[in-house]
Structure 1
Amino acid sequence: MAKSILHKADSRGKADHGWLKSFHTFSFASYHNPDRVHFGALRVLNDDQVAGGQGFGEHPHNNMEIISIPLKGELKHRDDMGNAGVIRPREIQIMSAGTGIYHSEFNNIPDEAAEFLQIWVFPDKQNVEPRYDQVALNYKQRPNLLEQILSPTPEDDGVWIHQNAWFHIGIFEKGNSTEYSLKDPANNGVYIFVLTGSVQVGDQILNKRDGYGLWETETFTLEATADAEILLMEVPMELQ
Structure 2
Amino acid sequence: MYLRSLEILRDEQTDLDRYPFSIPAVKRLDRLSFRSNVTFFVGENGSGKSTLLEAIAYQCGFHTAGGGRNNYYDVDSSHAALGEHIRLSWLPKITNGFFMRAETFYHFASHLDTLGGDSLRFYGGRSLHEQSHGEAFLALFRHRFGKKAIYLLDEPEAALSPARQLALLQTIKELENNAQFIIATHSPILLGYPNAQLLNFDVQPVQEIRYEETMHYILTRRFLENRKTVLRELFDQ
More helix as a share of residues: 2
TM-score interval, normalised by the smaller of the two chains:
0.3 to 0.5
More strand as a share of residues: 1
TM-score by structure 1 length? 0.32
